[in-house]
Chains A and B, each alone.
Chain A
Amino acid sequence: MPKLKVGLQAMPTEDFRQAATPLILDELVDVLEWSFDANWDKADHQYPEWFESLIQVYSDENSLLGHGIRLSALSAKTSPRQLKWLARLEHECTERNYLHISEHFGFFEAAGLIDGAPLPVPYTKEAVAIGRNMLSKIIEASSKDVGLENLALAFNKDEAQNQGKFLEDLLDNSKCFLLLDLHNLYCQIFNFNLNPKDHLSSYPLHKVRQIHLSGGSFSKSWSGKRDAIRRDTHDGPVPAEVFGLLEMAVTMCPNLEFVILERLGNTMDGEDDFNQFRADFEKMHRIVRGDRS
């Protein structure tokens, strides 16, 4: 089995630059993941020069992963905006050298909404057909293998427990893979009181090529029936439970290649947060490389 590669989701923000630079200089960051479409809706948007250089270095070294956030892959009706996204992706993949492309399970575009966080989709034959069709279009536009990331939110417990099967149906193509977000999995485990190993096993682990690791937060239960709701906010340290899932996943995902730490930009405030981010990365690195000390 080839050595697993570890990396960071790149953010064009000063807190990321300060927290991540020592890890990059120590050559601990094998790959970078970048949300190439984050600012496609902002005309004339410019990234900081250091960020452009960083992305280019990883692209030149064949170590860049593309992670889209703006497609709305499971919208039932294909929009002109999505067609433009696909055309722009085709161009993007001629400009930079991506190892693969990923997007998110779910939809946000409908009824005039053109941006947002992905929402669950009912598991129907029609939804599977729509998703497979869109995945084939992403493959065609990018000429890359394409992954989908599992979603934290589910409208009920059954939906959480069946998302793995839904994803397996959607990813029924040798060029498709699962990007398994372990914090999203943890949200489902916490919110629906699921057994971690059983829930992890309900996903098509043979299709996992990449893992996301992140932190999140708790919010109040609207109904009062739960102590709290776990939320996928990407703004905190990685919980012990998520590291526990990583320890299981690295042994259960035979085709895993990349493990990426995510943290939303502008959510770290000073040295304590930077040190925590680096400690999370180093712990992830040790688990992935088989050193649990």
Chain B
Amino acid sequence: MIGIDEPDLVLFQQELTHALSSEASPEQIIETLEKNPELKSFRNYISTFDVDMVHVANELVHKWGKH
């Protein structure tokens, strides 16, 4: 088996891409992630997110993301 599955980071990436795939505003995306109890260990990191950069990430996921 290859890969190191790190449960917290796995969850963070899942919740981040899920939030960025939504139609929510960048402010709502940050708030949703900050309030997610499962992302407690990432709360400080999320609280530093720049709303303009979250908007860019949101656009990138909508433009290039494929399920």
A residues with CB within 8 A of B:
75-78, 82-83, 86, 107-108, 110-117, 119-122, 124, 126-127, 129-130, 133-134, 137, 153-159, 191, 219, 221-223, 225-226, 229, 231
In angstroms, Cα B1 to Cα A97, docked, is: 28
CB distance from A29 to the nearest CB of B (A): 28
A229 contacts B52, CB within 8 Å?
yes
Taking CB atoms, residues of chain A closer than 8 Å to B4 are 126, 129-130, 133
Interface residues on B, range: 35 or more
For the residues of B in contact with A, the DSSP-based class is helix
A124 to B42, CA, bound (A): 11
Across the interface, which residues of A come within 8 angstroms of B56, CB to CB?
153, 219, 229, 231
Contact A119/B57 with A76-B9, A107-B13 known, Cβ cut-off 8 Å: yes
Which residues 15-35 of B have a CB within 8 angstroms of A?
A: 15-18, 20-21, 26
Task: Report chain A residues within 8 Å CB of B17.
Answer: 108, 110-111, 113, 119
Bound form: Cα–Cα A117–B20 in Å? 12
Interface residues of B (CB under 8 A from A): 2-6, 8-10, 12-18, 20-21, 26, 42, 45, 48-57, 59-61, 63-67
Judge whether A122 and B45 touch: CB under 8 Å: yes
A191 and B52 contact, Cβ closer than 8 Å, known pairs A108-B65, A115-B65:
yes
Give which listed residue, B18, B54, B60, contacts A155 with CB less than 8 A: B54
Nearest chain A CB to B27's CB is how many angstroms away?
9
A83 to B65, CA, bound (A): 20
Q: Are A122 and B12 in contact (CB under 8 A)?
A: yes
CA distance A146 to B26 in the complex (A): 35
- A222 touches which one: B3, B55, B65, B67 (CB < 8 A)? B55
Q: Given that A111-B17, A155-B57 are contacting pairs, would A133 and B52 also be in contact in the complex, using a CB cutoff of 8 Å?
A: no
CB atoms of A155 and B13 under 8 A apart: no
A129 and B6 alpha carbons, distance in the complex (Å): 10
Does A117 lie within 8 Å of B64, measured CB to CB? yes
Q: Is the beta-carbon distance between B53 and A155 smaller than 8 angstroms?
A: yes
* 29 pairs of residues in contact across A and B, judged by CB atoms under 8 Å: A77-B5, A78-B2, A78-B3, A86-B2, A107-B13, A111-B14, A111-B18, A112-B67, A113-B65, A113-B67, A114-B66, A116-B60, A116-B61, A116-B65, A117-B64, A117-B65, A119-B20, A119-B60, A129-B6, A133-B2, A133-B4, A137-B2, A153-B60, A155-B45, A155-B57, A157-B50, A158-B48, A222-B52, A225-B52
